[in-house]
């Protein structure tokens, strides 16, 4: 059995420096040299998972095949590597404590006093080694959320220190990501915050092996020498991470800076093959050289925060590149379109996506958006709540069920076309209890989606409580609406399409979680193609 190598990514100076993108970029470079790599993220907050967090708090909640509700960085890992992540790839302090406390209740600590060191730190180490011990990977990259020096990340830093000691310094290294601020008044880049941050890390017994420095300006050799000397790292291990136009440029920038080379040498890995980034480069070339442009409206209620719909935005980038078209995503707050005069915003759009979401706020705006695009034959894509809104709009305006609604919004509606499944009705706890993860779906013949996927059966990821109410099966599909995706085991309707429309698809699942650079999602690719076609007819 070959030794698994461990790379820890810590952050210093400030948050939001993009540890996830650096970790994913390094992983991409290593993967392109034939190393088997996975990435894991530790989040130092007390929620057991981000599933109960409002998107305004922490951005989108990403869902894995095995139904874990995770940090959005896992989305970047999958999109960059095209490798599936799972529950093991995202762990929070809440989950660590929950597990230790459960063990304590079972008496597993045999009368010992349960403490942060060693019990919490041991649990953290176990979670890191869990991936290493699968023998599925040559390299595990573990991103430690938060900023070095935070009270809440201390147990993680201590666990990392112990692991480096136990695994040996040639098997486990630390990459420290920091900021080199530019003082415009002085016209200078400043290294002092980085020196302090490295020192803080050192106080906990961890030496930074590699420094990745976020900067708005090029780092001179003199500045790199200074950083190397005062932070105790090799000159080659001072890596510049300059601002770029797209996150998809970062792997190439890291390659230019030699990040992969430094890591391979430091971990004494035997090189396997030269980096093969052919497919990545082809994607970037198409992405950067679009032949035309379209505008897609994204109707949602968390639009103020870009990260709320991260996977949808990225899916449009992948699908845009495939179609060689620039996709401008126009954020539309669902409450904004409640006013009739604001409906003009739809006139300049080539397609509309109604986003996932929870709760009542903004849903009448979403329903109005669906009506507009249905009547005006503008390509429409409804995801999860977006699909549910399409069903409600059709029920009200075509089937004449005037008070049709979801029981999530109006529990006593006389036409609950969207309702809770029986199994959901008994559930009291909110965390981790939705219908989650990957479910099979059969595609019916003569449907648009069957044509798009070119398959009869698919697997897509879910995250919702409410469903299309099967009591409405016969009336709903008696006209132009077609149930084109059905769960083969439960009969639940997973996809609806309107056949009296060039492209009108609502899906109960979240296709955006599965779009990657090397495998753009077929529904997004087709939707963008339909919007492009529509733009030419306007
Ligand atoms: N709120 C809806 C439900 O729970 C939709 C969820 C979603 O859009 N992810 O079914």
- Yes or no: say if 404 and 417 are a contact pair by the CB < 8 Å rule: yes
The pLDDT score that the predictor gives to residue 285 is 97
Answer whether 50 contacts ligand 1 (Cβ < 6 A). no
Percent composition of the chain: helix, strand, coil (DSSP 3-state, to 5): 40, 20, 35
Shortest-distance Cα residue to atom 8 of ligand 1: 356
Answer whether 408 contacts ligand 1 (Cβ < 6 A). yes
Mean pLDDT of 157-162: 97
The pLDDT score that the predictor gives to residue 422 is 82
Long-range contacts of residues 342-350, Cβ cutoff 8 Å, at least 24 apart: 343/368, 343/372, 345/297, 346/297, 346/372, 346/373, 346/376, 346/378, 348/295, 349/295, 349/296, 349/297, 349/378, 350/294, 350/295, 350/296, 350/378, 350/379, 350/531, 350/532, 350/534, 350/535, 350/538
CA angle 61, 65, 66 (to 5 degrees): 95
The pLDDT score that the predictor gives to residue 18 is 92
Mean pLDDT of 468-485: 96
In tens, the pLDDT along 492-510 reads 999 999 999 999 999 999 9
Residue (of 372, 470, 383, 358) closest to 418 by Cα position: 470
Residue 435 Cα to ligand 1 middle (Å): 10
pLDDT band at 388 (very low <50, low <70, confident <90, very high): very high
Residue 359 Cα to ligand 1 middle (Å): 8
**Mean pLDDT, rounded, of the chain:** 95
Q: Between 56 and 471, name the one with better pLDDT.
A: 471
The pLDDT score that the predictor gives to residue 400 is 96
* Least confident among 16-20, 79-83, 193-197, 216-220: 16-20
- Yes or no: say if 175 and 142 are a contact pair by the CB < 8 Å rule: no
Q: Can you tell me whether residue 448 is helix, strand or coil?
A: helix
- Confidence check: pLDDT of 360 > 90: no
The pLDDT score that the predictor gives to residue 1 is 63
In tens, the pLDDT along 16-44 reads 899 999 999 999 999 999 999 999 999 99
The yes-or-no answer on residue 384 being catalytic is yes
In tens, the pLDDT along 199-245 reads 999 999 999 999 999 999 999 999 999 999 999 999 999 999 999 99
Q: Which of 60, 326, 512, 521 is catalytic?
A: 512
pTM over 0.85: yes
Residue 468 Cα to ligand 1 middle (Å): 11
Mean pLDDT of 69-79: 96
In tens, the pLDDT along 259-278 reads 999 999 999 998 888 899 99
pLDDT band at 353 (very low <50, low <70, confident <90, very high): very high
Q: Between 293 and 132, name the one with better pLDDT.
A: 293
């Amino acid at each position: 059995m070959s030794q698994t190598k461990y790379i820890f990514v810590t952050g210093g100076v400030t948050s939001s420096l993009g540890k996830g993108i650096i970790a994913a970029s390094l992983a991409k470079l290593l993967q392109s040299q034939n190393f088997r790599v996975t990435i894991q993220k530790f989040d130092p907050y007390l929620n057991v998972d981000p599933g109960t967090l409002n998107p305004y708090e922490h951005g989108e909640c990403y869902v894995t095949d095995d139904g874990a509700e995770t940090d959005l960085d896992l989305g970047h890992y999958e999109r960059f590597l095209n490798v599936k992540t799972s529950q093991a790839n995202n762990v929070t302090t809440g989950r660590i404590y929950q597990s230790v406390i459960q063990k304590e209740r079972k008496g597993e600590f045999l009368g010992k006093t349960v403490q942060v060191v060693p019990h919490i730190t041991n649990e953290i180490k176990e979670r890191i080694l869990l991936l290493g011990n699968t023998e599925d990977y040559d390299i595990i990259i573990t991103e430690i959320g938060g900023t070095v020096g935070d009270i809440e990340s201390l147990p993680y830093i201590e666990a990392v220190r112990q692991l480096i000691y136990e695994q040996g310094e040639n098997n486990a290294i630390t990459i420290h990501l920091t900021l080199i601020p530019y003082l415009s008044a002085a016209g200078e880049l400043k290294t002092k915050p980085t020196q302090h941050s490295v020192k803080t890390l050192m106080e906990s017994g961890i030496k930074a092996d590699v420094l990745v420095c976020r900067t708005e300006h090029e780092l001179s050799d003199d500045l790199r020498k200074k950083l190397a000397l005062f932070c105790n790292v090799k000159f080659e291990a001072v890596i510049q991470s300059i601002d770029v136009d797209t996150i998809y440029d970062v792997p190439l920038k890291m390659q230019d800076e030699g990040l992969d080379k430094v890591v391979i040498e430091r971990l004494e890995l035997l090189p396997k093959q030269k980096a093969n980034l052919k497919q990545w480069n082809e994607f970037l070339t198409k992405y950067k050289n679009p032949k035309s442009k379209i505008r897609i409206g994204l109707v949602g209620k968390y639009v103020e925060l870009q990260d709320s719909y991260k996977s949808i935005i990225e899916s449009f980038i992948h699908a845009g590149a495939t179609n060689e078209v620039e996709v401008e995503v126009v954020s539309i707050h669902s409450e904004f379109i409640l006013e009739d005069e604001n409906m003009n915003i739809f006139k300049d759009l080539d397609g509309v996506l109604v986003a996932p979401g929870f709760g009542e706020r903004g849903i009448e705006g979403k329903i109005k958006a669906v009506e507009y695009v249905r009547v005006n034959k503008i390509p429409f894509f409804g995801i999860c709540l977006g699909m549910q809104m399409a069903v409600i709009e059709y029920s009200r305006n075509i089937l004449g069920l005037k008070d049709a609604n979801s029981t999530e919004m109006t529990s006593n509606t006389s036409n609950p076309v969207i309702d809770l499944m029986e199994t959901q009705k008994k559930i009291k706890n909110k965390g981790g209890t939705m219908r989650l993860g990957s479910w099979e779906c059969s595609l019916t013949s003569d449907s648009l989606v069957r044509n798009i996927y070119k398959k009869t059966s698919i697997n897509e990821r879910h995250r919702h409580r409410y469903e299309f109410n099967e009591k409405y099966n016969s009336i709903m599909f008696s006209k132009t609406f077609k149930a084109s995706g059905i769960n083969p085991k439960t009969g639940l309707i997973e996809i609806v399409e309107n056949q009296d429309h060039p492209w009108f698809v609502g899906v109960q699942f979240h296709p955006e979680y599965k779009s990657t650079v090397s495998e753009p999602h077929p529904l997004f690719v087709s939707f963008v193609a339909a919007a492009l076609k529509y733009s030419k007819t306007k």
